[in-house]
């Protein structure tokens, strides 16, 4: 009976051994290997963002996370003083290297956890100093950090990334697929089950190399962007304004050189800025443009053949149209103004007389042709197309307010694009901010240029340019503060009532100046907007000086020679 029992037991063991070694051997061996394998991510380098001249606006730098196996730190002995041992002794050695106080480090090192973080995002040099201390139980993980060398320069355009290294706003979000790349990994056999287990020499190793992201080249000019942001910050501070924006670009191509906001955000520390300041107001914030929009009404009337630049009007300071009384910004006796004079003096009542011969459908078509009520083509996150209501819904008064830039809303890029069209002989080119993507071999793959469409005839655009020059240099022009020494400048001031949801109506103003230079060979267009100033309200007072500063710097940066021709103004009065 004993022999029988022994045989039965032995047969059971034999059967089990046969099952393990003969039937399940490959499966069990694979499972055992899987238990010994560790996977370490190999991080792809996120592509850089550079300006048109190659200046780095965003880059990724190597960092390390210092990790700990607390059970191993317990065995640490200070080599300089054997009487000092354990977590507190290790913390005392680490403190001056990591810049963390001893009690905090002691808490992180003491315990029985097999894995934990001691410090994150330390520079590689710091990790090398930590490793040189030879403290048992300390290890490191590969990490990286996105950094923006220019601080807040172009912060609203660039956006920022999250803790996981992926874009959360701005171009970092829009161009995620180009910038991110693809992480790789390294799988290797280790000698134990803890996170701190050592690799087995000659053991199984499998590596998938990371694919780095591509560099992105912008059309922006870093130095011009900085100058514009400083000028905007100054006017916000001195006027007590809520915010300000500036948009500048090349006339012929629509490439943006400046896309500036104030207040702005430092993408190195986005949490330090108010939520409202972390975006790109130049495309997200819409407003009623006011008098800068009058050029569309006058352009439409000229192109339709309803008026000539020197057509004559008797312009009072108030007029009743559509059952509503409209008035100019200041009281004045009846003036004898030409069409050019109406624009130069920025007369609301004169603009209504010029545009009154057009139907609602005609007006709507012209405003739409200039880009109102539709996306700019930039495709930036949060961009608003503005508001251009269907003409069938216009009230009797809205028909007339639209003529002088109220009752219609745009963003800063849209109003800048209007003047780009006029400066470019009537051809509208969609603006762009990304020049191209640079592949790993250094080849720049250009992004498609913006679509071009003729909006005005070359003759009408030329007439408007002469009229806009009078608004800056003419005797009754409102934009004299925008004049750039040595250059002939065309432009228009704007002082619009500003709708604010907080007060449930119009309370405050949008002060603006939009224009281009030089008149004899337009190269650069520029729009400056100042929102809700507390001290001052007129575009010629607040926005025009900023225009002068930024335009002067842009013309110099672009190497545009000074103007040589003389102005040929139209008669402004009769």
- Residue recorded with tokens 């992201």: 213
- State how far the Cα of 24 lies from the Cα of 11, in Å rounded to an integer: 18
- State how far the Cα of 456 lies from the Cα of 454, in Å rounded to an integer: 6
Q: Which residue intervals of 424-538 are DSSP H helices? A: 458-473
Cβ atoms of residues 43 and 112 within 8 Å: no
CA dist 332 to 312, 327, 410, 540, Å? 18, 10, 30, 19
- 39 forms beta bridges with 187
Omega before 518 within 30 of 0, i.e. cis: yes
DSSP secondary structure letters along 406-437: -S-BB-HHHHHHHHHHHHTTTEEE--B-EEEE
What SS3 class is residue 96? helix
> How far separated are the first and last CA of the chain, in Å rounded?
134
Angle, alpha carbons 134-139-143 (nearest 5°): 135
Cβ atoms of residues 473 and 293 within 8 Å: no
Could you give the residue numbers annotated as active site?
291
- Residue recorded with tokens 């990304």: 434
DSSP secondary structure letters along 507-569: EEEEEEEEEEE-TTS--EEEEEEEES-SS---HHHHHHHHHHHHHHHHHHHTTPPPP-S---P
Cβ atoms of residues 113 and 134 within 8 Å: no
What SS3 class is residue 189? strand
- State how far the Cα of 421 lies from the Cα of 543, in Å rounded to an integer: 21
- Residue recorded with tokens 């997200």: 284
What DSSP designation does 398 have? H
CA dist 459 to 111, 225, 302, 323, 365, Å? 82, 33, 10, 36, 20
DSSP secondary structure letters along 197-240: PPBPTT--EEEE--BPPPEEEES--HHHHHHHHHHHHHHHHHHT
- Residue recorded with tokens 């003036």: 335
What DSSP designation does 481 have? G
Between 458-473 and 412-423, two packed helices, what is the crossing angle to 10 degrees?
A: 110
What SS3 class is residue 193? coil
Q: What's phi and psi for 188, nearest 5 deg?
A: -150, 160
DSSP secondary structure letters along 18-41: HIIIIISHHHHHHHHHHHHEEEEE
């Amino acid at each position: 009976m004993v022999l029988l029992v022994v045989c039965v037991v032995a047969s059971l063991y034999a059967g089990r051994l046969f099952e393990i070694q003969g039937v399940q051997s490959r499966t069990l061996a694979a499972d055992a290997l899987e238990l010994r394998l560790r996977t370490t991510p190999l991080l792809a380098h996120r592509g850089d963002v550079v300006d048109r001249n190659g200046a780095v606006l965003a880059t990724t730098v190597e960092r390390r996370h210092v990790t700990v196996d607390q059970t191993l730190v317990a065995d640490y002995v200070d080599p300089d003083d054997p009487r000092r041992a354990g977590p507190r002794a290790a913390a005392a050695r680490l403190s001056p290297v990591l810049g963390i106080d001893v009690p905090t480090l002691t808490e992180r090192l003491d315990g029985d956890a097999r894995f934990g973080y001691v410090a994150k995002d330390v520079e590689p040099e710091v990790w090398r100093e930590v490793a040189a201390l030879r403290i048992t139980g300390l290890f490191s993980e590969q990490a990286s950090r996105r950094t923006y060398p220019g601080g807040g320069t172009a912060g609203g355009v660039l956006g920022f990334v999250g803790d996981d290294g992926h874009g959360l706003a701005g171009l970092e979000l829009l161009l995620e697929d180009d910038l991110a790349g693809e992480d790789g990994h390294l799988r290797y056999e280790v000698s134990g089950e803890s996170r701190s287990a050592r690799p087995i020499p000659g053991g199984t190793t499998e590596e998938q190399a990371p694919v780095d992201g591509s560099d992105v080249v912008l059309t922006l000019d870093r130095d011009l962007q900085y100058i514009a942001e400083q000028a905007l910050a100054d006017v916000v501070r001195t006027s007590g304004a809520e915010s300000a924006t500036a948009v500048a670009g090349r006339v012929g191509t629509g490439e943006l050189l400046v896309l500036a906001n104030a207040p702005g955000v430092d993408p190195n520390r986005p949490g330090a800025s108010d939520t409202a300041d972390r975006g790109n107001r130049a495309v997200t914030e819409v407003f009623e443009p006011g008098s800068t929009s009058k050029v569309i009404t006058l352009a439409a009337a000229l192109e339709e053949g309803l008026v000539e630049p020197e057509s004559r009007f008797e312009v009072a300071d108030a007029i009743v149209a559509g059952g509503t009384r409209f008035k100019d910004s200041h009281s004045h006796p009846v003036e004898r103004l030409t069409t050019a004079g109406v624009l130069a003096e920025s007369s609301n009542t004169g603009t209504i007389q010029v545009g009154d011969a057009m139907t609602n459908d005609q007006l709507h078509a012209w405003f739409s042709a200039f880009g109102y009520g539709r996306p700019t083509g930039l495709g930036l996150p949060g961009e608003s197309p503005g508001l251009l209501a269907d003409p069938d819904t216009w009230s009797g008064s809205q028909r007339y307010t639209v003529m002088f830039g109220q009752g219609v809303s745009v963003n800063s890029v849209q109003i800048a694009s209007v003047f780009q069209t006029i400066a470019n002989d009537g051809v509208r080119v969609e603006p762009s901010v990304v020049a191209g993507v640079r592949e790993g071999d250094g080849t720049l793959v250009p992004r498609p240029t913006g679509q071009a469409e003729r909006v005005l005839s070359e003759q009408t655009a030329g007439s408007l340019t002469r009229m806009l020059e009078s608004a800056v240099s003419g005797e009754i022009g409102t934009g004299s503060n925008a004049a750039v020494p040595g250059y002939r400048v065309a432009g228009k001031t704007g002082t619009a009532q500003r709708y604010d949801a907080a007060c449930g109506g119009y309370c405050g103003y949008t002060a603006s100046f939009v224009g281009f230079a030089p008149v004899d060979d337009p190269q650069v267009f520029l729009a400056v907007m100042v929102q809700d100033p507390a001290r001052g309200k007129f575009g010629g007072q607040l926005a025009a000086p900023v225009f002068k500063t930024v335009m002067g710097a842009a013309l110099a940066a672009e190497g545009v020679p000074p103007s040589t021709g003389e102005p040929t103004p139209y008669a402004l009065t009769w």
